[in-house]
């Protein structure tokens, strides 16, 4: 049974003058309208959200979706949490509900309102997605966890700090520049790697050595939503739809200190499984949206996808592969780095971006003649990993 995306919606990302509740209503209504169906046609709802309780004092968030439309009252609604991959987890649950026959048309919403808290508060809530006894409770933040990847990568592959900084600056500059074309992005900025490297310390301070401010994604408010159904139903409503050709989910140890700190081990497996399920290879992809919560993770994602050999992710940049005109553009939206990273919304945002790309209605830079795309979303310090392959069908 094929599962297709019938409708999408994506809010503006940034520091928004909107509540958590506003974002849920806007994205849900937008996706239903775009699907060309009525609210009463929805028979299950799945909400990806990391911590409405921590950020907004609102646990038990799923029942609020009844406020999207009066005809949704009594529809089963479930909150799904898997750290920064909560959105992809919600898609997985909706997909499985349809495949099992328990649902025909599902609404998936990813949402996070992070800016209700100050930086200290945000840091604390996010840290609860680490392994608290040995990481969060010891003051190790998420910049600190991903700094472990940066240090591990340098040590394992014998990279100097200057060499790694130059690579990460290219990733940051690429994504900020890509975001200039994205009207929904939080921080569009036309900038070069050289300009980032030459910034004085007060303009690009160390957040957690060796990662600097321009290596870190943003504190973001926003939401995205999808309507999922069987491909048969989708094609009866629309002439052209996007199918989820594969969804692969792998999980590793929660603590980064029990895993490799120089590669995304479980992420590599997730991508490998997704390619196999979809019956494709890397060469079939026309674009990818990957989880660049920190620039080091985009570098590791190049290697997880197989764009470049292990330890040589820089080649994806030096050979122009991942730029808009390259063989496999990565993060045409600006990525988490510049589009923004409302953590529970990110996986759904990626899926919306992929769908719009494949329909020729990109939010931002349009990939040329795109037929197949991939999203790669991780939760925590890459303990949870989701790889999804999307194909345009008629």
Active centre residues (catalytic): 84, 341
| Sign, Cα dihedral of 187, 107, 254, 304 | negative
Whether the Cβ atoms of residue 19 and residue 35 lie closer than 8 Å to each other: no
Q: Which residue has tokens 């997605």?
A: 129
Beta strands 241-251 and 372-379, pairing class: unpaired
Q: How far apart are CA 370 and CA 366, in angstroms?
A: 8
Rounded Cα distance between 7 and 253, Å, is 35
The DSSP output letter for 367 is: P
Q: How far apart are CA 227 and CA 9, in angstroms?
A: 9
First to last CA, the chain: 16
Question: 117-122 long-range CB contacts below 8 Å, 24 or more apart?
Answer: 117/54, 117/55, 119/219, 122/55, 122/219
CA distance 256 to 248: 21
CA angle 68, 69, 73 (to 5 degrees): 100
DSSP string, 224-238: EEEEEEEHHHHHHH-
- Rounded to whole angstroms, how far apart are CA atoms 328 and 201? 33
Among 271, 290, 277, 300, residue whose Cα is nearest residue 353: 290
The partner residues of 111 in beta bridges, in order of sequence, read 223
Strand 3-10 relative to strand 241-251: parallel, antiparallel, unpaired?
Answer: antiparallel
């Amino acid at each position: 049974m094929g599962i297709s995306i019938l409708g999408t919606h994506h809010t503006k990302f940034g520091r928004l003058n909107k509540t958590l509740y506003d974002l849920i209503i806007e994205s849900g209504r937008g996706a239903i309208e775009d699907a060309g169906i009525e609210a009463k046609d929805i028979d299950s709802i799945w909400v990806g959200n990391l911590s409405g309780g921590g950020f907004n004092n609102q646990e038990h968030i799923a029942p609020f979706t009844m406020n999207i439309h009066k005809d949704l009252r009594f529809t089963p609604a479930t909150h799904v949490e898997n750290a920064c991959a909560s959105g992809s987890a919600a898609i997985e649950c909706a997909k499985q509900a349809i495949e099992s026959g328990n649902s025909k048309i599902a609404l998936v919403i990813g949402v996070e309102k992070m800016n209700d808290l100050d930086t200290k508060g945000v840091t604390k809530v996010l840290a609860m997605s680490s392994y608290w006894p040995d990481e969060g409770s010891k003051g190790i933040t998420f910049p600190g966890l991903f700094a472990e990847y940066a240090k591990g990568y340098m040590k394992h592959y014998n990279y100097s700090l200057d060499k790694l900084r130059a690579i990460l600056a290219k990733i940051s500059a690429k994504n900020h520049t890509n975001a200039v074309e994205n009207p929904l992005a939080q921080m569009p900025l036309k900038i070069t790697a050289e300009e980032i490297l030459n910034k004085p310390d007060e303009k690009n301070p160390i957040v957690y050595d060796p990662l600097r401010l321009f290596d870190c994604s943003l504190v973001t408010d926003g939401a995205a939503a999808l309507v999922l159904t069987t491909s048969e139903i989708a094609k009866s409503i629309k002439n052209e739809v996007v199918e989820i050709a594969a969804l692969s989910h792998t999980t590793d140890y929660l603590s980064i200190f029990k895993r490799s700190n120089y590669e995304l081990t479980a992420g590599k497996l997730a991508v490998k499984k997704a390619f196999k399920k979809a019956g494709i290879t890397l060469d079939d992809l026309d674009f990818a949206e990957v989880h660049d919560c920190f620039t080091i993770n985009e570098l590791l994602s190049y290697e997880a996808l197989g764009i470049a050999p292990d330890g040589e992710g820089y080649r994806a940049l030096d050979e122009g592969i991942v730029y808009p005109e390259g063989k496999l553009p990565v993060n045409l939206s600006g990525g988490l780095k510049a589009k923004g990273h409302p953590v529970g919304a990110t996986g759904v945002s990626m899926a919306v971006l992929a769908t719009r790309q494949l329909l020729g209605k990109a939010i931002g830079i349009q990939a040329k003649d795109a037929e197949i795309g991939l999203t790669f979303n991780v939760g925590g310090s890459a303990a949870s990993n989701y790889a999804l392959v999307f194909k345009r069908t008629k």
